[in-house]
Amino acid sequence: MDETAIAFELPHARASATHVGPPLDRISVRDYTRDVEIGAFRSERGVTQRIRFNVVLEVSHHAAAEDDDVDKVISYDTITEAIEAELAAERVNLLETLAERIAARCLADPRGVRVFVRIEKLDRIPGTLGVEIARSRLEDGASRIRQVVPPSTVAAADPVIVHLPPEAAFGADAPAWRDALAALGRPVIVVLAPRDPQKPALSEAERRIGLLSIEQSVWAFAGADPRFDVAATRTELDWAAKHGRLTVWAPSHMTTAALKHAAPGPDDPAGLAAWLGAELGAATVIIVGGALARPEDLAGALP
pLDDT in tens, the chain (303 residues): 455 455 456 666 666 666 556 667 888 999 999 999 998 787 888 899 999 999 999 887 665 556 666 666 788 888 999 999 899 888 888 999 999 999 999 998 888 888 999 999 999 999 999 999 999 875 444 333 333 344 433 344 689 999 999 999 999 999 999 999 999 999 999 999 988 888 888 888 998 999 999 999 999 999 999 999 999 888 788 888 888 899 999 999 888 877 667 889 999 999 999 999 998 989 999 999 888 889 999 999 888
- Domains of the chain by start residue, with CATH: 3-153 (3.30.1130.10), 160-301 (no CATH)
Residue-level pLDDT at 16: 63
Task: State the pLDDT at residue 158.
Answer: 85
pTM score, whole prediction = 0.60
Q: What is the set of active-site residues? A: 121
Round to whole Å and give the CA distance between 192 and 40.
Answer: 54
Which of 207, 217, 92 is closest to 164 using CA atoms?
Answer: 217
pLDDT at 152: 37
Q: What angle do CA 209, 211, 216 make, to 5 degrees?
A: 95
